[in-house]
Amino acid sequence: MKKAKDFNEYKSAYTAEIQKKLEQMRACIKKAAPKAEEVISYGMPAFKLNGILVYFAARSKHIGLYPTASGIENFKKELVGYETSRGTVQFPLDKPLPLGLVTQIVKFRVAENQLKAKRLK
């Protein structure tokens, strides 16, 4: 698959079912971080605000959310039942996206990046 230039091009490579999940994820992140800039980075949709907040991507059986290691560690209790690794969580395509949890994770990452930016000043 060629690298997409924007979100619409990215999602066009997937089935209608996966496109719907990608749209839900995008809308959820935009609502949780309305000042964040939407980008494509490493071939995936991402949102930036004082650095990368989160990436997300479609896979054959899940939607991956990449909120960095701190985003996973801080929500490890809430993420029980999902496949996780150091900086990633997998949300199965056959289940509804946990949009409330995604909102919490994104807001955590916004606060974390704002604090980091404040310290650097």
Tokens of 109: 């990452």
SS3 string, the chain, reads CCCCCCHHHHHCCCCHHHHHHHHHHHHHHHHHCCCCEEEEECCEEEEECCCEEEEEEECCCEEEEECHHHHHHHCCCCCCCCEEECCEEEEECCCCCCHHHHHHHHHHHHHHHHHHHHHHC
* pLDDT grade for 1, boundaries at 50, 70 and 90: low
Instruction: Domains for the chain: give ranges and CATH numbers.
Output: 7-114 (3.90.1150.200)
Q: What are phi and psi of 10, to 5 degrees?
A: -60, -50
Tokens of 117: 């930016």
* Cα 54 from Cα 56, distance rounded (Å): 7
Cβ contact 107:43 at 8 Å: no
Measured distance between the N- and C-terminal CA atoms of the chain, rounded to whole angstroms:
40
- For 52-76, write each residue's pLDDT tens digit: 999 999 999 999 999 999 999 999 9
Return mean pLDDT, the chain. 95
CA distances from 13 to 8, 10, 43, 111, 119 (A): 9, 6, 12, 33, 40
Q: Give this prediction's pTM.
A: 0.94
- For 91-120, write each residue's pLDDT tens digit: 999 999 999 999 999 999 999 999 988 887
